[in-house]
Structure 1
Amino acid sequence: MILQNILPAVLCVLALICCIIEATLTEKLQNSGADFTTLIQSNNRSSTNEIFKIISTYSMYILLISGMFCYTSIDHKIGTFAIISEVLALWMSDIMKMHYSHPRPFWWNSDVEGIICGRGWGAPSGHALMVAAVVGYFAGEFVKNNKEKALAVSIGAIIIVLVDFDRVYVGVHFYFQVIHGNIMGFCIAFLLLNDKIRGYIKRSFGDKKFVLIVNFVFGILWMWGILLYLYRDPDWDKDWSNNFSSDCSGDLTKTDSMREACRESTFILFLAGFWVGKHFLTQIPASYTWKTFIYGTLFFIPALIIDQCLEYLTKTYGDFLTTFICFSIIRFISGFVISFVIPLIVFKIINWKKIDYERTLNNPNNFSERYV
């Protein structure tokens, strides 16, 4: 009862309170946050810095692909909601960064060392939001289905705390930006653990009208990022650029920061493609096997590499408009490939006629596990 209904409601209220605090007590939070970061950086060593650089660089990628890998290779039911949690977390962090347009600690205060050179806005922390959403969801699934609840919660807590501390230590987020991100991430995780919400999502995969409505909503969320980029004119302090240049190579402008967040907000179209793919995938095995794991992994890794290469080439050689359009297209296609193309190829290779599977029609009243 608490996990299903009360806790998500409490977290949503806390997330709203955090939004209000971030907007109204900005300078006080930034001053105290800069003091705290300076304190924990006072005895830093090069070896420690390198460890946290690695955590900063790779943690987001690992979190982002965890749900996709789970879906294609391990468990399509859990993987489905893990993908939804991670994409919503990523989109929400970028949209809110454009709304707030708050600086990072090493921009704000020259005493804070920028161990990692973040160019996008700071509030809320995208890493903190993502780790709370994804790890919180996986831990919640484990707690629901296993007896070792303490172990799941402990491992999840360690991962979250490690990523949170990393974001403060490397100078890219004030402590409250991290707390804010965590609460919003937990809100996403526990909403997706609610049976009623999961039921609505399951139904939407099987009904063509629902798929169109969901994609229309995702289109509006995609447009939200564009409108913020075009019409949001945030304040900018020249000292932020100077402080950035003292720790990092290159220049920093508010246009750079807005473009960074706007470009990444296109990830919401991954979910649009994912929803379409789930609608057309009408045959899913009742359970995955070791063959599914092997073949799913063999096709998932090349698809991921191709996706990242295309994004890198587009970002490196294209102007902002070209990059934005290409990212939007690439991410929609990637969502479709993950949800439909890879599972379909794997199922054909393994030949599921020899194995028990669920065959369903796209019926909105069918609440089969196929719609998970």
Structure 2
Amino acid sequence: MRTFILSTLFLGIYIILDIILNELMWESNTKLTIYLQNKEFKGEQEIMTFFSNWLNIFPGIALLVFMFKENKLGAILYGCMIMFIISFNSLLKNIYHQPRPFWTEEDIKGLQCNKEFGKPSGHAMQSSLMCFLLPCILFPAIWRDQENLKYPKLLRVIIITIIIIWTLITGFSRIFFGAHTYGQVLLGWIYSGYIMINYMTYIHERLLNYFKTCLVTGGPGIGRRVIYISILVTFIWSMISYLFYRLNSNEILINNAEIQLWLDAMLRKCTSQINPYKFKSASVLQNNCFNNSFQILFIFFILLGTKLCGGTYDESKFSQNFAKLKWKLKLYRVVLLLVLLLIVEPFVFFIVTEHLSAVIFFQTIPICFFGGFVLTYFYPKALFHLGLNIEGDFLNSENRIITTKIHANANEV
């Protein structure tokens, strides 16, 4: 508990300091951002855009690990942490309800026009978590030698250096774009660090051991109690998120005059925006934050899909059998997963509306549902029915059936 107490104490002290120094940091950031934008060199926007926009490369790496490596549980837990940090950041933004610098400071350009609240920085929270948990969860041998894997010291130094630089430049890019103050970026890093430290210290290994025990051949599977608890936690999370959404929607925490100034600034400074947004538009302010807070449903659907699939998983058997597969069969398995993931594409690109309820129920929730179920239900079942599964596959339903029959016969004897 020492780590939890110390990290919580540090977080609490920083939150207090952030409140006290908020005005000072905002004023100094305004000068800093104006200076950076006025001194912009050729190609700087392109460099900053790369680090700011290419965060999706990390979920892509997790997907590759899920397809080709035995650390499939790690890949899924990594994806769940990404969805959690997005949801948590969105909840925090509705609690802080602080504007972005380019909304209020006339001399700051809106080089990237994000339209939800600005504090804490979502890019800072996501990039730091994705970067640092990548080696911790997906490639743990980078930090510490594993039984059959050891990285050279130089490679470790290079990878860790890239992680640190990527995180710092992503945060710096948000200041340069006028999307965040450095105070919002720092707060994002603090929250992200707090979550990562406590997750890796107290939760990650226990989750891995729990799932490995449940999913081993002949194991009990995911218990109903876990599903019930996840339903309760998701419901409480949604209610808290809804509370702060309503406080902002009813203009209890924010001022109507300020809101209109912010919306006007978006229209004037965002070249990609043609039509003015209304206060109730799904893409802006508290509405966008409330919608994104539902990303936590991805974790629930991962658990539910794992429960309903009822399969087994054996890392050692998978790596042995996957290595023996012909390249064509490996390719078929990859194509199958990618085709199944296309299920979510219509919800991403073809549902275009500014009605918040429609976006939540016909886009966000279906994406979380299909995203979670593709990995834990549709893909394992499809592999089995197409004859592409191998012994040790993730949620291999055949093993569970065979094991059940064996135990039944043993009981009869």
Q: Same fold (TM over 0.5)?
A: yes
> What is the deviation of 1:69?
4.4
Q: CA 1:356–1:189 in structure 2 vs 1: closer, same or farther (change >3 Å)?
A: closer
Matched residue SS, 2:313 = strand
Identity of aligned residues (%): 18
Q: Which amino acid aligns with 2:265?
A: N
Q: Which amino acid aligns with 1:122?
A: G
Alignment of 1:280-291 (within 5 A): 280-286=309-315, 287-288=318-319, 289=322
Is 1:176 matched with 2:198? no
Is 1:235 matched with 2:254? yes
Matched residue SS, 2:350 = helix
Aligned to 2:236: 220
Is 1:164 matched with 2:171? yes
Q: How does the TM-score come out when normalised to structure 1?
A: 0.83
Aligned to 1:109: 105
Aligned to 2:301: 273
d(CA) in 2 for partners of 1:243, 1:272: 38
Bigger Cα displacement from structure 2, 124-133 vs 323-332: 323-332
> What is the deviation of 1:318?
6.2
Contact conserved, 1:134 with 1:189, CA < 8 A, in 2?
no
> What is the deviation of 1:27?
2.4
Alignment of 1:327-346 (within 5 A): 327-346=364-383
Aligned to 2:276: 251
d(CA) in 1 for partners of 2:294, 2:197: 24
Contact conserved, 1:137 with 1:190, CA < 8 A, in 2?
no
Q: CA 1:196–1:338 in structure 2 vs 1: closer, same or farther (change >3 Å)?
A: closer
Q: Which runs of 5+ in 1 are unaligned?
A: 363-372
Q: How does the TM-score come out when normalised to structure 2?
A: 0.76
Is 1:311 matched with 2:348? yes
d(CA) in 1 for partners of 2:365, 2:395: 34
Over 6 Å off, 4+ runs: 354-358
Is 1:188 matched with 2:183? no
d(CA) in 2 for partners of 1:330, 1:209: 25
Matched residue SS, 1:124 = coil
Aligned to 2:51: 55
Contact conserved, 1:68 with 1:338, CA < 8 A, in 2?
no
Q: CA 1:294–1:33 in structure 2 vs 1: closer, same or farther (change >3 Å)?
A: farther
Q: Which runs of 5+ in 2 are unaligned?
A: 215-221, 404-413
Q: CA 1:7–1:221 in structure 2 vs 1: closer, same or farther (change >3 Å)?
A: same
> What is the deviation of 1:71?
3.0
Aligned to 1:143: 143
**Equivalent residue for 2:123, pick from 127, 137, 151:** 127
> What is the deviation of 1:78?
1.8
Q: Which amino acid aligns with 1:129?
A: M
> What is the deviation of 1:322?
1.3
**Equivalent residue for 1:323, pick from 349, 359, 366:** 359
Matched residue SS, 2:143 = helix
Aligned to 2:87: 91
d(CA) in 2 for partners of 1:322, 1:202: 39
Larger relative CO (CA 8 A, sep 6+): 1 or 2?
A: 1
d(CA) in 2 for partners of 1:137, 1:86: 10
Q: Which amino acid aligns with 2:267?
A: S
Aligned to 2:408: none
Matched residue SS, 1:114 = coil
Contact conserved, 1:85 with 1:189, CA < 8 A, in 2?
no
Cα deviations across residues 287-314 of structure 1 (Å, max 9, x unaligned)? 4436696455423433444324313322
Q: CA 1:169–1:299 in structure 2 vs 1: closer, same or farther (change >3 Å)?
A: farther
**Equivalent residue for 1:264, pick from 274, 292, 296:** 292
> What is the deviation of 1:269?
0.5
Contact conserved, 2:73 with 2:208, CA < 8 A, in 1?
no
d(CA) in 2 for partners of 1:77, 1:330: 21
> What is the deviation of 1:91?
0.6
Q: Which amino acid aligns with 1:320?
A: L
Bigger Cα displacement from structure 2, 288-297 vs 39-48: 288-297
Q: CA 1:331–1:346 in structure 2 vs 1: closer, same or farther (change >3 Å)?
A: same
Matched residue SS, 1:122 = coil
Bigger Cα displacement from structure 2, 212-221 vs 297-306: 297-306
Q: Which amino acid aligns with 1:172?
A: A
